[in-house]
Every structure is written in structure tokens, then in C-alpha cells.
Amino acid sequence: MFADVWEWNQKVTVEVLVDGKVVSGSAVSHVWWQEANALGVYPSGYKGEATVVDLGRRGQLFALIGEETKYIAQYTRHDHLGYRRGDYERLLPAIMRFRGTKDVPRDRYPLLVTFTDPNDPRTVRKVDPNVISAAFGPGVSLSRVTLEITDEATTSGKVETLLPWLSWPRERFLTAGGGRTPLKVPGEVVGRINFVWRGT
């Protein structure tokens, strides 16, 4: 007998106020969960790419993907759908069926970063969602992050065009960081898979 699988596409949209005007970017990722195995573990996975907001001369804001990508729908939707977040057997099928948009709780925002030079991974900077003007200058603030369960296809190809080092051979990438990842973000573990992950 085959295990139940719950899967959906989810669009993360980041809205930024720049001098009073809204600038936004979106990306669609795919998430899947499987019913618990004999060990009581729910196998899961995701694929997609980071959300990018182009702020023109001020730079680009990236909302990264990662393990939290699998959980953001639960944290955003469980109250609205009427289930506890840990009630996977009912919550996950409900998410899969749902269509619509909701604000992501601020404490569940994806990790935000930018680069002073997009061609150099060593120039990565963590962006505080509460004070993104520290990275992008006066007049810039984060308005909101939304999550939509959607029928749209997963997005691909945008991030690679903006960050050429994503396609560097592993040796070159590590050399840029002195033998380790050059993506050094205080308090965070960040790799190329947080910008683009095609799944397994």
C-alpha cells in the first residue's frame, strides 16, 4: 500500500516600500510531505529558488529558501484552517486543497540577504527585516511577506542570472572563501542551495 503524499506549490512574495512606492518580487517553490513512516517520521522535501526584489540602484533583496521552506505554510495557515500546526494528518491535506494568500508571520520570515557586489559571494550581507534601510539606505522599508498556495508552476532561472557564482565549480567557489564557503552570514549557515535547490 502506498503512503499518502501531500504536495503543493507556494508563492512567496516580498513587498518593499521604496520612497513611498511598493516594489515586489515573487518566487514559486514546490513542497511535499509524506505520511509518517514506521519510525514516526514524515519524509518531506522542497525545490525552488529564492525570491528576489530588484531595488534598482539600491541593489537586490533575496529571501532565501531552506528547511523552513517546508514549514512556512503550516505556520502561516494553521490558525486560518482551524488545525494545530502539529496535526499533520489533517493540516497538510487542508493546505494542499487551499488556494489563497495570507501574510507570513513576521517571526517566520525567510532569511533576507543582499550583496554589495552580486558577482562576489563574499560580499553577502544579512538584512534585518525590521531595518532594511541599514542595507539599502533611507526611504526603504519592508512592507510585508505573503504566502500563496497556487497552481502556478515553480519558478526557475532568475536567480542564476543575477548571481553568476552559483554556477562556479565547487573548487572555485571554496577557493573564494579560503577553503570554506564564502557565504559567511553571522549566526546563519548559508550555502548555494539556499538560493537555488532543485530537489532530489
What mean pLDDT do residues 11-37 have?
Answer: 96
pLDDT level of residue 1 (50, 70, 90 thresholds): low
The helix (run of H) or strand (run of E) holding residue 29 is strand 21-34
Q: What is the pLDDT of residue 100?
A: 86
- How many structural domains is the chain composed of? 1
**Which domain does 158 fall in, by range?**
5-197
pLDDT tens digit string along 91-108?
Answer: 999 999 988 899 999 999
Q: What is the pTM of this model?
A: 0.94
The amino acid sitting at 36 is: A
CB 177, CB 169: distance < 8 Å: no
